Amino acid sequence: MTDKPSVLFVCVHNAGRSQMAAAWLTHLAGDRVEVRSAGSAPGDRVNPAAVEAMAEVGIDISAETPKLLTVDAVRVSDVCITMGCGDACPVFPGKRYLDWKLDDPAGQGVEAVRPIRDEIRVLVEGLISEIAPARPETTA
């Protein structure tokens, strides 16, 4: 068992928003948070515009693949953040659920994805400050 918080990002295709959010959280929080992402109807691949937009800020998500949302993924996560999947996400008592209203980058070019990427970063930074604030180094 781990005492670090776990976050699950969910969008329909797990190809854009949830992949960018997971990458931001991993990049910004490092090993302080367990990160997962999934989709209720996963796409065939990560949105190329999302890959390009994240590469512009130095984060490589080109090797990621969309994953199917499972009950187990929700069960083992402390925070479940939906991004347009609606009621497809199972609900368990004691979990924290957030719904981030974000534009869907599907079918959009990188110019349209950049502001979504940047909005996700701001939301992820706020989430980190709530669930995994930086702790001063201590010696024990």
Among residues 8, 15, 81, 85, which one is catalytic? 85
Candidate list 7, 10, 11, 83, residue with the active-site label: 11
80 is catalytic: no
In 3D space, the residue among 67, 101, 108, 96 whose CA is nearest the CA of residue 86 turns out to be 101
DSSP 14-66: SSSHHHHHHHHHHHHHGGGSEEEEEESS--SS--HHHHHHHHHTT---TT---
Q: List Cβ neighbours of 60 (8 Å cut-off, separation of 6 or more).
A: 54
| Rounded Cα–Cα distance for residues 98 and 88 (Å) | 14
Catalytic entry in 89, 116, 123, 128 = 89
95 vs 75: CA distance, rounded Å = 8
Tell me which residues are annotated as active site: 11, 85, 89
